[in-house]
Structure 1
Amino acid sequence: MDTTQLLKGVLDLAVLAVLREEDGYGYDILRRLREAGLDEVGDASVYGTLRRLFAAGLLTTYVVPSESGPHRKYYSLNAAGRDQLTRSGKLWRSFATTMDTLLDDRGMAA
């Protein structure tokens, strides 16, 4: 199965989860996603997701000056984003449990 298709469905949730504990700028968020195991996530996908989540009112932004290059736009999870993360996380866990059950019932768990 192509993991790119799976990523499209869960990238919003993954980005919200990465921002739950600590704010981050685009490249930092991309790095954290890859370190978590989402190696195939693309730069453009993450930046597009950040813009979309911001436009949906789930993130706030602020700019931090940098002495070694351009200023960085940081993204932060706001109350609406935390609520969305909770809802989406519950939905994901339910879906994953259903898929685990289907796979186990068919003898495919291994």
Structure 2
Amino acid sequence: MGKQATEMLKGVLEGIVLALLSRRPAHGYEITGWLRDQGFNDIAEGTIYALLIRIEQRGLVDVEKVPSEKGPPRKVYAINTAGRDYLNEFWRTWSFLAERLEQLHQGER
């Protein structure tokens, strides 16, 4: 992924993570793995963990510590009502921007 794509992704990564958590609870390593499976190979685990801390502090997720077979308990993040409200707003904003960008793109042809 190029520098431009990485910069654009940073702007929407919070929405992407909340969308993933709306499907099912997950811990940071799972989220990073899913992103990499989708081709977002330049996303560092540290970026995801910092984002998870931010959305936890903002009250958008609930956190449960779950025992791990490989060391200390893992934090499992689950989207809550405030997070769903935020995600709904994210999708409204995304739709607005995507429509306008598509209009611009079509105008270039």
Normalised TM-score (structure 2): 0.91
Normalised TM-score (structure 1): 0.90
* Cα distance in structure 1, aligned partners of 2:35 and 2:25: 13
- Listed as ranges, the gaps of 5+ residues in structure 2 are none
* Cα distance in structure 1, aligned partners of 2:78 and 2:54: 14
Q: Which one of 77, 92, 95 corresponds to residue 90 of structure 1? A: 92
Tell me the residue number matched to 1:13.
15
- Listed as ranges, the gaps of 5+ residues in structure 1 are none
Shift of 1:31: 0.9
Once the two structures are overlaid, the 10-residue window that deviates more, 91-100 or 38-47, is 38-47
After TM superposition, the runs of 4+ consecutive aligned structure 1 residues lying more than 6 A away are none
Shift of 1:68: 3.2
1:30 matched to 2:32 = yes
* Cα distance in structure 2, aligned partners of 1:48 and 1:14: 14
1:75 matched to 2:67 = no
Q: Percent identity?
A: 36
Tell me the residue number matched to 1:106.
108
Instruction: Tell me how many residue pairs correspond in the alignment.
Output: 107
